[in-house]
């Protein structure tokens, strides 16, 4: 009976250690999430900047046209 418990304990230890992601996998996943979030934020900032530039250009053109008249 002692041998059965010993074998079960050893098998249990191997199963416990083998389950779950490794620290490297967790780090890689976290890094990918941060990179994805940074890329999304950059795209949004660029889109907002493009909209602002378009607004400035149209306002400047309107001002130039009103001065020319």
For residue range 9-66, list pLDDT tens digits in order: 988 888 877 776 677 778 888 999 999 999 999 999 999 999 999 999 888 887 777 7
Q: Domain range for residue 68?
A: 22-69
| Residue 36 domain-assigned (yes or no) | yes
Q: How many domains are there within the chain?
A: 1
Q: Is the residue at 14 inside a domain? A: no
pLDDT for res 13: 84
pLDDT for position 19: 72
pLDDT at 22: 73
pLDDT bracket for residue 69 (50, 70, 90) = low
Q: Is residue 8 part of a domain?
A: no
Distance CA 22, CA 24 (A): 5
Residue 44 lies in a domain: yes
Better-scored residue on pLDDT, 31 or 69:
31
């Amino acid at each position: 009976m002692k041998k059965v418990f010993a074998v079960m304990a050893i098998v249990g230890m191997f199963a416990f250690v083998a389950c779950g992601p490794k620290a490297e996998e967790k780090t890689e996943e976290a890094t990918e999430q941060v990179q994805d979030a940074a890329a999304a934020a950059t795209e949004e900032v660029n889109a907002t900047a493009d909209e602002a530039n378009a607004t400035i250009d149209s306002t400047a053109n309107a001002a130039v046209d009103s001065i020319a008249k």
